[in-house]
Amino acid sequence: MTNLINVIVIFLQVSVGLSVFAIGLNATFHDLEYLFRNPGKLLRAFLSMQVIMPVFAVITVLSFNLLPAIKIVLVALSVSPIPPILPKRVFRAGGRESYAISLLVVAALLSIVWIPLYLEAFERIFAVPLQVQASSIARLALISVLIPLGAGLAVQAALPDFARRAASPISAVAMVMLLAGVLVVLAGTLRDMGSLLRDGTLVALVAFAVVGLIAGHLLGGPESQDRSVLAIYTAARHPGIAFAIAHANFPQQRLALAAVLLALLVSAVVSAPYVSWAKTHSVTA
């Protein structure tokens, strides 16, 4: 069973890596610099993702009688960076590509520093020993975001015509692989996910996603294409890193993976109307 899980994890990592590589094939190094040329947007993004959401997660955990796995995962998600496949959803919603790509990279880099710092703060609040190795977060950030994106950017710079032709087929293959892997994982955790739906869990997860959308939309700035990026990014976080935080601190919590997946499903469902609205608004604006 352990070997099968390891194979599925590697399969998902490859599919995510291919997806981010495809994004890199359509990006430029100029895109990466976008937030450094717009420090105000970087500050507002940090406030939305790494101040409002952790504070809301702490308030939710202290206010609701949630199962331990849900409490752990909510806190872990609130400090995790952006899911590496999320930029595609942002692009479909009419988001600015430079902003989306730059924030993806900056969030991955900063997570190596801010996650251990946040866990120290949470340790004081909850009076529970919490820790995670920065090297573990760095490895996940490198594998899922930085290396595949950098490789795609390098190919795009050296072979722009090939990159333009290859991006769509590679993206399609990656999406099929990712969907297959997610379905397998869902099939194995569906029963556990069902056992988590009690004691206000669904309300807490919906509230987490809604607050993320509102915070990101309000802090995204006056332009709709920036508001949609930050709203969608704030509402959804990197599942691999969230699970790594949960597992490193509470390895006995077998429901942690199911809780991460449940939170992601709720976030996707809650965000869907906003994505549709943002896409329509970006066309008519």
Q: What is the pLDDT of residue 284?
A: 45
What is the residue range of 46's domain? 2-269
Q: Exposed, middle or buried, 69 (CB in 10 Å: 0-12/13-18/19+)?
A: buried
Split into its structural domains, the chain has a count of: 1
Please say whether the beta carbons of 185 and 11 come within 8 A.
no
Residue 283 lies in a domain: no
Residue 281 lies in a domain: no
Residue 285 lies in a domain: no
Q: How many other CB atoms are found less than 10 A from the CB of residue 34?
A: 20
Euclidean distance between CA atoms 244 and 187, whole angstroms: 21
Residue 8, amino acid: I
Q: Exposed, middle or buried, 222 (CB in 10 Å: 0-12/13-18/19+)?
A: exposed
- Mind listing the pLDDT tens digit of every residue in the chain (285 residues)? 445 556 777 777 888 889 999 999 998 888 989 999 999 999 999 999 999 999 999 999 998 888 888 999 999 999 998 888 777 778 877 888 899 999 999 999 989 889 998 988 998 888 888 888 778 888 888 888 899 999 999 999 999 999 999 999 998 998 898 888 888 888 888 888 888 887 788 999 999 999 999 999 999 988 888 999 999 999 988 888 888 888 888 888 778 888 888 999 999 999 999 999 988 876 444
**DSSP states of 38-75 as a string?**
-HHHHHHHHHIIIIIHHHHHHHHHHHS---HHHHHHHH
Domain containing 123 — which CATH number?
1.20.1530.20
Q: What is the pLDDT of residue 5?
A: 57
Residue 279 lies in a domain: no
Q: What is the pLDDT of residue 35?
A: 92
Q: What is the pLDDT of residue 279?
A: 83
Euclidean distance between CA atoms 285 and 282, whole angstroms: 5
In this prediction the pTM is 0.88
Q: What is the pLDDT of residue 180?
A: 87
Residue 222 lies in a domain: yes
List the alpha helices (DSSP H) in the chain.
Answer: 2-25, 29-32, 34-37, 39-47, 53-63, 68-79, 86-92, 97-126, 134-141, 147-158, 160-195, 201-219, 224-235, 239-249, 256-284
CA distances for 203 relative to 64, 77, 196, 256, angstroms: 10, 16, 12, 18
Q: What is the pLDDT of residue 285?
A: 47
Euclidean distance between CA atoms 184 and 182, whole angstroms: 5
Nearest to 50 by CA among 72, 81, 73, 74: 81
Residue 275 lies in a domain: no
